[in-house]
Structure 1
């Protein structure tokens, strides 16, 4: 079972939510909830086996997110 913050982090990682929305969401959390989200993010990065060498590509992808998939809109929703 995923917690709501895990779902949001996953959607942000997949580009299904705009980064600006994620920043606003995170900044609106209490300090305790921000800590919980950051702990979850550290665990996700560890599970993904993220390495220091992944940083430049991650930054580049953050600055230039991929285009939406065919058949969907910018929010990742299917047409129709």
Structure 2
């Protein structure tokens, strides 16, 4: 993947939103998403972590969501991102971790978001949802 320029902020955010929601809905694997994330410059990775943290906050992640997401993420439960997201209330500042932990932080955040967003799609949004990101077309990976 080629990196977008700093002028492409909104487009990049839309790309991040697409990738994260595809992972959450099972249209893209977590490994494929992590590979996309790994191909970004460190500054972009930090931006993505902040953006995905915002998605997780909007999805109202709980400590239980954190534990379920960490279990799906493939990241050790004792790793910093895992511990932070499982606190009650969760700590979302994963972009403040050392860059060496960013890939694990991405895996944890997206996995936890997937758990919380699925719960919301199956309850709050069931049958009457107008959120475009909850209705992605299949076969995008």
TM-score after normalising by structure 1: 0.68
Corresponding residue number in structure 1 for 2:38: 27
Pairs aligned (count): 65
Give the structure with the higher percent helix: 2
Q: Could you tell me how far 1:27 is from its partner in structure 2?
A: 0.5
Q: Does 1:36 find its partner at 2:47?
A: yes
TM-score after normalising by structure 2: 0.41
Question: Structure 2: 5+ residue runs without aligned partners?
Answer: 1-9, 75-137
**RMSD value, Cα:** 2.0
Q: Distance in 2 between matches of 1:49 and 1:61?
A: 18
Q: Does 1:45 find its partner at 2:60?
A: no
Superposition pairs for residues 1-80 of structure 1, below 5 Å? 3-62=14-73, 76-77=138-139
Give the 4+ runs in structure 1 shifted more than 3 A. Answer: 59-63
